Amino acid sequence: DVKVTQSSRYLVKRTGEKVFLECVQDMDHENMFWYRQDPGLGLRLIYFSYDVKMKEKGDIPEGYSVSREKKERFSLILESASTNQTSMYLCASSSRVTGLNEGTQYFGPGTRLLVL
Amino acid sequence: AQSVTQLDSQVPVFEEAPVELRCNYSSSVSVYLFWYVQYPNQGLQLLLKYLSGSTLVKGINGFEAEFNKSQTSFHLRKPSVHISDTAEYFCAVRRLGGATNKLIFGTGTLLAVQP
């Protein structure tokens, strides 16, 4: 079974703090994703990575950055947390899309972040 | 570009009743379609997916969905729900082919099963 873990289930930070959210997958997946989930808005893609040290912006990258130094780990960084970044953050991973593999995404349990 | 519409934000239903959660999509190219379920305080779990072939797709926990290309719909159904089916359900789409597997999600439907 695919396992995607996130470092914290709940996190409380203050405005202006630098915040790191960590995600680790154990299936040797090439692709990793960070989403934020807000009521009434569904999931929105922040960043994704298709290889080590490679990243692409998603739909809402402003105020976030990412790091992928190792294949199994994908970090989301809030350089200076703001109250409007209070949300649920979900990490996902998938294998690379090939002719035989459509790259189904598998999700971690999420981190609920509260910025005060 | 693709988009997904889940018209019902909440669907209340009594236990053992049938349920249908609606999903419509918009795309100028062929797509793959997915339903994910999120139980309270958990991440998303894949329920079922349509890639090609038979338009009726069966998933876990007794759910099924039917792909209707002419109506651009992928509605999720279960003939008899249980209390444990209470969760939020997300429909998602991604384009066929292409180098990436980015998903576009709907806004979700909360299924509230009452005794």
Structure confidence by residue, pLDDT tens digits, A1-39: 668 999 999 999 999 999 999 999 999 999 999 999 998
Whether residue B100 has pLDDT greater than 80: no
A28 backbone φψ class: left, alpha, beta (φ>0; ψ -120 to 50): left
Coil, strand or helix at B93 = strand
Question: What's the rounded mean pLDDT across residues B39-67?
Answer: 92
Burial of B66 (0-12, 13-18, 19+ CB in 10 A): middle
- pLDDT score, position A84: 96
Residues of chain B with C-beta less than 8 angstroms from the C-beta of A104: 34, 46, 49, 101
Note whether B76 and B89 are within 8 A (CB).
yes
Q: What is the DSSP string of B7-20?
A: --SEEEEETT--EE
pLDDT digit string, tens, across residues A64-113: 999 999 999 999 999 999 999 999 999 999 988 776 667 789 999 999 99
Distance (Å, rounded) from C-alpha B16 to C-alpha A99? 41
Report the gap between the CA of A109 and the closest CA in chain B (Å): 4
Hey, which bits of A8-98 come out as E strands?
A: 10-13, 19-25, 31-38, 42-51, 54-57, 64-70, 73-78, 87-94
- pLDDT score, position A1: 67
| Inter-chain residue contact B42 with A109, CB threshold 8 Å | yes
Rounded to the nearest 10°, the torsion over CA B17, B20, B21, B27 is: 170
HSE on the CB side for B17, CA within 13 Å?
Answer: 13
- pLDDT score, position A2: 66
CA A2 to chain centre: 16
- pLDDT score, position A90: 96
